[in-house]
Structure 1
Amino acid sequence: MKNKFDTDSNGYIKNGKKWNKSFAYLIAEQDNILLTDEHWKIIMFIRNFFLKFNTSPTSRMLIKAISKNKKIDSMYLYKLFPNGIAKQAAKMAGIPKPTKCI
């Protein structure tokens, strides 16, 4: 899939307003991830949180928000986003790299 999005040197979209689901699919394909409903819950939570608060949620906030009826922990999130929940999910969500990520 050709990248039609303007990204920085780390692959984060430069203009989050131009984000759409195609961008998330592009990043997932590059990372060999097949996006499921579980991925989308996390991607959309992170994106909506950022749009509302102009910052990324902490892993603890994320776990609490999505674990409604099932036990979810950081290991579960790393199975979905093996390159790091904060960086990889943020990239797919079309938001800037979290400031606490190296």
Structure 2
Amino acid sequence: MPVTTIAGRDIHVDDEGFLAAYNEWDPDLAKQLAAQIGIELTDAHFKAIDFLRADYATQGETATLRRVSTLGGIPTKELFTLFPKKPAKKMAYIAGLPKPHGCV
């Protein structure tokens, strides 16, 4: 498993750069990950991220965009505004979760 250094911390990642260890994530790391892809996190971003992490903890896989919208109560249009172009992939990356199934 590759290791990268982000903000002075060694972080385990997969071949695509997604975090590989659920417990290495924290909100400060999320801010660093978001900055790397040009996103400045707000409370609205953290609502989606917190839902994703909680859902992953119970379901064992990263939620799809539809699941975040339906169960998380965040409209799809808002998710595209918060995480432009590829919201499911970007949310998972920032939340420290595996890339969702079906994402290219």
Is 2:36 aligned against 1:20? no
More strand by share: 2
The answer on whether the counterparts of 2:22 and 2:97 sit within 8 Å (CA) in structure 1 is yes
Q: Structure 1: which 5+ residue stretches go unaligned? A: none
Identical positions, percent: 32
Name the SS of the counterpart of 2:68 in structure 1.
helix
- Matched AA of 1:93: A
Is 2:40 aligned against 1:34? yes
Measured on the aligned residues, the alpha-carbon RMSD in Å equals 1.7
Q: Structure 2: which 5+ residue stretches go unaligned? A: none
Inter-partner Cα distance in structure 1 for 2:64 and 2:55: 10
- The offset of 1:83, in angstroms, is 4.1
- The offset of 1:40, in angstroms, is 0.1
Matched residues, number? 97
- Matched AA of 1:17: N
1:101 aligns to what? 103
Is 2:51 aligned against 1:51? no
- Matched AA of 1:22: D
- Matched AA of 1:43: I
